[in-house]
Chain A
Amino acid sequence: MSAEEKASVAQDSVAAPVVVRVRRPALAESRWVRRLLIAAALVFLALFLLLPLVAVFVQAFQKGFAAYWEALVEPDAVAAIRLTLLVAAIAVPLNLVFGVAASWCIAKFDFRGKHLLTTLIDLPFSVSPVISGLVFVLLFGLHGVLGPFLKSQGIQIVFALPGLVLATVFVTFPFVARELIPLMHEQGCDEEEAALVLGASGWQTFWHVTLPNIKWGLLYGVLLSNARAMGEFGAVSVVSGHIRGETNTMPLHVEILYNEYNFVAAFAVASLLALLALVTLAAKTALEWRFGAELAALKRH
């Protein structure tokens, strides 16, 4: 297969949800079976995906726009929004740098233990969010391994911003790397080698050759890791300590309001998070449609 053919096949398979092969009757179900299956799938999706999403917004606006707005500008809510943005603004760039470094070393070089390293990077995905938070409490908490030492130094990690950032970095750890590794692997090293032969330095090669090649994949990874960072609940819930206005992120604020039976306010804050999810989905879908061929490697999660 030539390169162009490969690219066009890759494009087809990414845009494929709309590509329907013309089938002869022997290869298609009867019209009624088709309609029945489509209806069953859509009812299932409506019950489990669409209705919950609609419910968030309906509940948020149940007592009108004024009550909705009030729940969002209330000081604790504002503090939660600010904290969520701050945590994401620290955690995402850290994992961005790590993800690029890890995929450079894994995708561009062959070395012993590479498979093990890839598996270890994916490890946080298979760990329950609660355990992701628990490990930091056990390490830095008052009764934790380093707890007494940290206390004597006057450093607080758990139940404070550093703990929230650590837990968030843990849960978003693999996102960027796992998007970039297959992409960079597929692109190979030829272009980088050419740049080096022509006299570019290592940094110049990375900046002018590699980065432009991976920018969409990188954006894709950052989008997903940002959505997870802002929406993470289990891990941050364990390390936060739930101090209102201080260590409450938006998802935790939603929980507190909900448990206080303040449903309108809970769903109002939740609607912001749902909007974030919708924007993320839209941007992700747009990236897949627009740069489908380049991102083809990413579709295989």
Chain B
Amino acid sequence: MTGAVGWQIRRPSVLPGFGLTLGITLTWLSLIVLVPLAALAVKATGLGWSGFWSVASDARVLAAFRVSFGLSLAAAAVNAVFGLLVAWVLVRYRFPAKRLVDALIDLPFALPTAVAGIALTALYAPNGWVGQPLLDWLGVRVAFSPIGIAVALIFVGLPFVVRTVEPVLQEMPPEEEEAAACLGASRFQTIRYVVLPSIFPALMTGFALAFARGVGEYGSVIFIAGNMPGLTEIVPLLIVIKLEQYDYAGAAAVGTLMLLASFVLLLILNLLQSWMRARHVR
């Protein structure tokens, strides 16, 4: 805003409809998002500090948080590696059916989570196409174990990493790599010291998005998890269980904790990312 109109709420414009559209936006936003989220906070505060603390320090709740956050972190890390690989291959190399593969990346965005859940379970169950060989040859049980949860979270998180890294890789000017090569860097050195640093912020963003999505994920996880309390029970499921027992205040408390925890983590990751970006400013 320029100095002369800086004190105004809105910069003058000849276009009509500001009041109307802002009114619609604020009303709809309040009704659908803000008031319901406030209800969550109100219910949670209804417990009082000691009640809230007793829910938060419950062993089952703590275990669920460990499962949700730990496995989301693991899945996001796997996605960071393989998402980068997929983005690299899609941008830099040529191979048959590439456009089809590129379109397929968005499948987890489009496929309903319940469908993904039962499909992954069928696939990775001890008698599934992939689960059976893994069990027979390596003795690894995927479905109905923490690994199964990670598999589901890898599925839902993958497009976040690929779609944030892809455009950055595409827009990278070849000159930087050429310069590195001219100065005698090997291909590995070029990638390690020139390519990776410039895509690192995008990679971190994708990692954070995949992680945040994983923490809240419900539909694709509950089928493959086995849902054993303390071992493979995720936080969203715990909320549902508390609701089914009509423990509304407990559900609200866990929900509030989860919102707070994911906001704090996202904040940390954002700070980390802006720090990274500031370091690599050229």
A: residues with CB less than 8 A from B are 13, 16-18, 20-21, 23-24, 26-29, 34, 37-38, 40-42, 44-45, 47-53, 55-56, 59, 97-98, 101-102, 104-106, 108-112, 117, 120-121, 123-124, 126-131, 134-139, 141, 143-145, 166, 169-170, 173, 189, 192-193, 196-197, 202, 205-206, 224, 227, 230-234, 237-238, 250-252, 254-255, 258, 263, 266-267, 270, 273-274, 276-278, 280-282, 284-285, 299-301
Complex interface bits, B201-245 against A, C-beta within 8 A gives 1, otherwise 0? 000000000001001111100010000000000011101100100
Distance to closest chain A CB from B223 (angstroms): 7
A231, B103: Cα distance in complex, Å? 19
Complex A-B, nearest 6 residue pairs according to Cβ-Cβ distance, in ascending order? A231-B112, A128-B216, A135-B36, A233-B219, A111-B10, A234-B218
A230, B37: Cα distance in complex, Å? 23
B167 CB within 8 Å of chain A: yes
A297, B170: Cα distance in complex, Å? 15
With A109-B10, A232-B112, A233-B219 as contacts: A128 and B236 at CB distance below 8 Å = yes
Distance to closest chain B CB from A239 (angstroms): 10
A33, B22: Cα distance in complex, Å? 55
B107 CB within 8 Å of chain A: yes
A251, B114: Cα distance in complex, Å? 6
B129 CB within 8 Å of chain A: yes
The answer to whether A173 touches B33, judged by C-beta atoms less than 8 angstroms apart, is yes
The answer to whether B158 touches A48, judged by C-beta atoms less than 8 angstroms apart, is yes
The answer to whether B112 touches A110, judged by C-beta atoms less than 8 angstroms apart, is no
A256, B9: Cα distance in complex, Å? 52
The answer to whether B37 touches A135, judged by C-beta atoms less than 8 angstroms apart, is yes
With A56-B115, A138-B248 as contacts: A128 and B215 at CB distance below 8 Å = yes
Chain A interface mostly: helix
A99, B178: Cα distance in complex, Å? 45
The answer to whether B118 touches A284, judged by C-beta atoms less than 8 angstroms apart, is no
B: residues with CB less than 8 A from A are 1, 9-11, 13-18, 20-22, 24-25, 28-29, 32-37, 39-40, 42-43, 82, 85-86, 88-95, 98-99, 101-116, 118-120, 122-123, 128-130, 151, 154-155, 158, 163-164, 166-167, 170-171, 174, 177-178, 181-182, 187, 190, 212, 215-219, 223, 235-237, 239-240, 243, 246, 248, 251-252, 255, 258-259, 262-263, 266
Chain B interface mostly: helix
User: Known contacts A42-B101, A137-B248, A144-B248; can you find 4 more A-B pairs with CB under 8 A?
Assistant: A27-B181, A138-B252, A234-B219, A250-B112
Residues of chain B within 8 A of A111, CB atoms compared: 9-11, 18, 22
Closest to B39 in A: A139
Distance to closest chain A CB from B19 (angstroms): 9
Residues of chain B within 8 A of A285, CB atoms compared: 99, 103
9 A-B pairs with C-beta separation under 8 A: A23-B174, A45-B105, A51-B123, A55-B128, A101-B28, A237-B219, A238-B240, A251-B114, A255-B114
A299, B90: Cα distance in complex, Å? 15
- Among B174, B218, B223, the residue within 8 A (CB) of A21 is B174
Distance to closest chain A CB from B86 (angstroms): 5
The answer to whether B216 touches A17, judged by C-beta atoms less than 8 angstroms apart, is no
A105, B29: Cα distance in complex, Å? 13
A197, B16: Cα distance in complex, Å? 12
Residues of chain B within 8 A of A97, CB atoms compared: 24
A265, B259: Cα distance in complex, Å? 36
The answer to whether B218 touches A128, judged by C-beta atoms less than 8 angstroms apart, is yes
The answer to whether A18 touches B98, judged by C-beta atoms less than 8 angstroms apart, is yes
Distance to closest chain B CB from A131 (angstroms): 5
A27, B181: Cα distance in complex, Å? 7
With A126-B212, A281-B106 as contacts: A141 and B248 at CB distance below 8 Å = yes
